[in-house]
């Protein structure tokens, strides 16, 4: 972005960057140029009658490097009845003079006793041109009332210094091929492959032995679902609910053991369902009854409040939920045993009677003997 500094400040802000030596040299150069271009030359007629418009371009360097910053100065001599205007950035747009891009600008003006005025504009510029950089003509606008005159400076070229040393040689030819010793990576790869193969064989042998051992191991029957639930309730009842940090564990374990019991007893995937889905599945079964389902739902909802809503109920509620959970399991076990007993009775009756429905067989009806009817009877009947 280009920054324009008003004439009232008269500061060389663009020499703030860089080292202290660079700032001092830049300030001295600008001051020397200002004195040189603004002071009337000896023997020059500076009276208002003979004053003419004069525009000059001064490049304050003899050569530049690519991207180097330097100064351009434009001076305009005229009488006091006219106003000189120099190019300034428009709404932050870049200001370029050919290959030059202006970074900052400082405006100056000076009045002389003979009625003439010298205005100047010093630009901090840079260029990324190669070999030579062109400074395009810079327009200066003179305004006197309704009259407007534009005068342009001369164009000039600035040599661009090269980064390549003068004694640098030309591009070298391709170097000859270098013979490298043959690598033994394939030997290492072969050994590694053999080791991996041996490790795989050892693992397979151990796996076969472990599988045979597992087949020979006596199968231990699983713990009944009600017994597992009671054991987990007994362990959970020892939790200290006065410590709020134990609340999440207590309610998560209570919900888990009830869902595990339902999953094992009724073959309902309660561990993978939400509370609403689990209750809906229970209502589709003949067992448990609606009252037990409602109590089961109340316990799960209380656990969900702690797990998902970060609730902290009193310790008494946890003890009450332990009692309610035992009652639910006892009720469901009674109903399950009743259903199992009824099914066993029906199966026993079916086996006794050798009928799949369990109903007693009907005795076969004896056939009535066939007797010949006398002809008189047949005639009477006819």
How many alpha carbons lie under 13 Å from residue 12 in its C-beta half-sphere? 17
Domain that holds residue 39: 3-161
Partners of 109 in the β-ladder: 119
In this structure, what CATH number is given to the domain that contains residue 143? 2.60.40.10
Cis-peptide into 288, omega within 30 deg: yes
Q: Among all chains, which residue has been given the structure tokens 């054991």?
A: 231
Residue 170 lies in a domain: no
CB 325 within 8 A of CB 299: yes
Residues 139, 260: one domain?
no
Residue 208 lies in a domain: no
Residues 229, 323: one domain?
yes
Dig out the tokens for 159 from the structure. 């040599």
Per the document, the length of the chain is 382
Residues 149, 244: one domain?
no
Residues 8, 151: one domain?
yes
Residues 119, 245: one domain?
no
Angle at 208 between CA 203 and CA 214, to 5 degrees: 125
Residues 9, 155: one domain?
yes
Rounded to whole angstroms, how far apart are CA atoms 199 and 204? 9
Dig out the tokens for 127 from the structure. 């260029």
pLDDT for position 355: 52
DSSP string for 346-376: HHHHHHHHT-TT-PPPPPPPPPPPP-PPPHH
CB 241 within 8 A of CB 319: yes
What is the pLDDT tens value at each position of the chain, 382 positions in all? 444 443 433 444 444 444 444 544 554 455 455 544 544 433 334 344 444 788 999 998 888 988 889 999 999 988 888 888 899 877 667 788 999 999 888 988 888 888 788 999 999 999 988 889 999 999 999 998 888 899 999 999 999 987 766 666 677 788 888 887 777 788 888 899 999 999 999 999 988 888 776 665 556 678 888 899 899 999 998 988 888 888 899 999 999 999 999 898 888 888 889 988 988 888 887 667 888 888 889 999 999 988 888 888 898 998 999 999 999 999 888 888 888 888 888 888 888 876 554 444 455 455 544 444 444 333 333 2
Alpha-carbon distances, residue 38 vs 4, 280, 311, 355 (angstroms): 21, 99, 85, 130
Residue 80 lies in a domain: yes
Rounded (10°) CA dihedral 50, 54, 59, 60: 40
How many alpha carbons lie under 13 Å from residue 242 in its C-beta half-sphere? 0
Residue 119 neighbours by CB under 8 Å, 6+ apart? 75, 76, 78, 84, 86, 107, 108, 109, 110
Point out the domain boundary residue: 137, 161, 185.
161
Point out the domain boundary residue: 110, 140, 161.
161
Residues 9, 132: one domain?
yes
Rounded to whole angstroms, how far apart are CA atoms 70 and 124? 6
Residues 235, 141: one domain?
no
Residues 8, 157: one domain?
yes
Alpha-carbon distances, residue 144 vs 149, 243, 355 (angstroms): 9, 92, 128
Using the CB atoms, write b or e for 291-325: b if 16+ within 10 Å.
ebbeebbebbebbeebeeeeeeeebeebeebbebb
Residues 15, 136: one domain?
yes
Q: What does the DSSP 8-state code read for residue 98?
A: B
Q: What does the DSSP 8-state code read for residue 16?
A: S
Residues 248, 154: one domain?
no
Strand order across the beta sheet in which 83-85 lies? 83-85, 139-144, 147-152
Residue 216 lies in a domain: no
For the chain, how many structural domains are there in total?
A: 2
pLDDT for position 14: 41
């Amino acid at each position: 972005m280009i920054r324009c500094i008003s004439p009232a400040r008269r500061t060389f802000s663009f020499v703030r960057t860089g080292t202290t030596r660079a700032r001092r040299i830049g300030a001295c150069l600008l001051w020397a140029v200002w004195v040189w271009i603004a002071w009337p030359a000896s023997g020059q007629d500076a009276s208002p009658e003979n004053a003419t418009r004069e525009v000059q371009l001064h490049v304050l360097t003899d050569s530049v490097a690519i991207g180097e910053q330097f100064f351009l100065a434009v001076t305009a001599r005229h009488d006091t009845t006219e106003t000189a205007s120099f190019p300034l950035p428009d709404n932050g747009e870049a200001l370029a003079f050919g290959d030059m891009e202006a970074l900052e600008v400082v405006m100056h003006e000076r009045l002389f006793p003979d009625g003439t005025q010298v205005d100047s504009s010093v630009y901090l510029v840079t260029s990324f041109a190669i070999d030579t950089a062109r400074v395009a003509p810079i327009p200066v606008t003179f305004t006197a009332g309704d009259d407007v005159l534009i005068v342009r400076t001369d164009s000039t070229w600035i040599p661009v210094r090269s980064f390549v040393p003068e004694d640098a040689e030309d591009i070298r030819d391709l170097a000859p091929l270098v013979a490298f010793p043959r690598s033994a990576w394939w030997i290492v790869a072969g050994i590694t492959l053999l080791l991996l193969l041996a490790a795989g064989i050892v693992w397979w042998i151990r796996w076969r032995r472990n599988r045979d051992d597992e087949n020979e191991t006596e199968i231990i029957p699983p713990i009944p679902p009600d017994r597992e639930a009671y054991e987990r309730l007994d362990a959970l009842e020892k939790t200290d609910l006065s410590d709020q940090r134990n609340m999440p564990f207590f309610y998560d374990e209570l919900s888990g053991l009830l869902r595990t019991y339902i999953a094992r007893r009724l073959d309902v995937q309660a561990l993978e369902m939400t509370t609403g889905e689990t209750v809906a599945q229970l209502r589709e079964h003949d067992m448990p009854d609606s009252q037990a389902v409602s109590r089961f739902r109340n316990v799960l909802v209380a656990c969900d409040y702690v797990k998902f809503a970060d609730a902290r109920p009193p310790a008494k509620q946890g003890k009450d939920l332990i009692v309610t959970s035992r009652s639910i399991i006892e009720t469901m076990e009674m109903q399950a045993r009743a259903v199992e007993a009824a099914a066993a009775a029906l199966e026993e009756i079916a086996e006794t009677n050798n009928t799949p429905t369990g109903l007693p067989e009907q005795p076969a009806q004896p056939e009535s003997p066939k007797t010949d009817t006398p002809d008189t009877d047949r005639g009477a009947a006819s």
